[in-house]
């Protein structure tokens, strides 16, 4: 049974070759090893026909980087071709490839001496030489505490803030003409009748247009308004009042 240095790894090997993904024990990010081509698969492939064999042999020519790129490309094409039966030769290759890929991936991980977990560079605290779970980074903790404190302050300020000062009216205005809810406009939403309030001539209270008597003082709202009081002119010399339109004071004769 294969034993990986990390607690989490994924075996993506197929008949064509071997490849593994080793994951960080903290964040789960992984490192995928290079594709290792199976020698037994390659031998079987060479027996399938000269055309395919010549193509594979030709793609392996060139620099080391070209060889790796060609092998990785072929490996990505067949990674999804899972199989059930495995030959003894393939199993031996699989174990050797697993050790090789582990050594390759181990360079990208650090082992925490406190919890013995293997973590990636992002989860490693260089100052404390421990993982961030055992020794969180100071700047990260400060930033996190600052953000939490700011969030609490905003919530506290929001609870005491007054964002609306209007009044809630439960009763709706009923139109005096059609008897249906008229809405909040100057005219009824249903029949279009005017919803302007009538002012009492005696007390100044606002009343519905249809009422006959004031709801506040009982004044007759249908009676014509009283005539305005006669206008008079006051003499500047003696202070006597004379009817409006006269030219001279009736008390002292001074011109008005």
What would the pLDDT profile of 230-256 be if each residue is shown by its tens digit?
777 788 888 888 877 778 887 888 887
What would the pLDDT profile of 185-230 be if each residue is shown by its tens digit?
778 888 888 878 888 888 988 887 778 888 889 888 887 777 777 7
- 113-146 burial: b if 16+ Cβ within 10 Å, else e: eeeebbbbeebbbeeeebbbbeeeeeeeeeeeee
Tell me the C-alpha distance between 22 and 40, whole Å.
25
pTM of structure: 0.45
Tell me the C-alpha distance between 194 and 179, whole Å.
13
Quick one: pLDDT band at residue 76, thresholds 50, 70, 90?
very low
pLDDT score recorded for residue 45: 65
**DSSP 8-class letter at 66:** H
């Amino acid at each position: 049974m294969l034993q990986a240095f990390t607690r989490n790894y994924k075996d993506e090997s197929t008949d064509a070759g071997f490849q593994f993904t080793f994951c960080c024990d903290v964040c789960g990010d992984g490192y995928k090893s290079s594709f290792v081509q199976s020698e037994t698969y390659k031998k079987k492939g060479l027996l399938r026909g000269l055309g395919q064999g010549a193509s594979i042999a030709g793609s392996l020519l060139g620099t080391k980087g070209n060889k790796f790129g060609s092998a990785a490309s072929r490996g990505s094409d067949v990674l999804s071709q899972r199989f059930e039966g495995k030959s003894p030769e393939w199993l031996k290759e699989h174990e050797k490839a697993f050790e090789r890929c582990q050594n390759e991936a181990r360079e990208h991980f650090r082992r925490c001496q406190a919890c013995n977990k293997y973590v990636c560079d992002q989860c490693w605290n260089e100052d404390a030489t421990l993982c961030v779970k055992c020794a969180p980074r100071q700047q990260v903790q400060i930033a996190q505490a600052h953000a939490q404190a700011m969030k609490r302050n905003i919530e506290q300020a929001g609870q005491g803030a007054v964002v609306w000062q209007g009044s809630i009216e439960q009763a709706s205005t009923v139109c005096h003409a059609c008897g249906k809810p008229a809405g909040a406009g100057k005219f009824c939403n249903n029949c279009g009748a005017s919803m302007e309030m009538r002012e009492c001539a005696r007390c100044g209270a606002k009343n519905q247009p249809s009422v006959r008597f004031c709801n506040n003082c009982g004044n007759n709202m249908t009676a014509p308004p009283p005539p305005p009081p006669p206008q008079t002119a006051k003499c500047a010399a003696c202070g006597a009042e004379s009817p409006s339109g006269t030219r001279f004071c009736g008390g002292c004769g001074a011109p008005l």
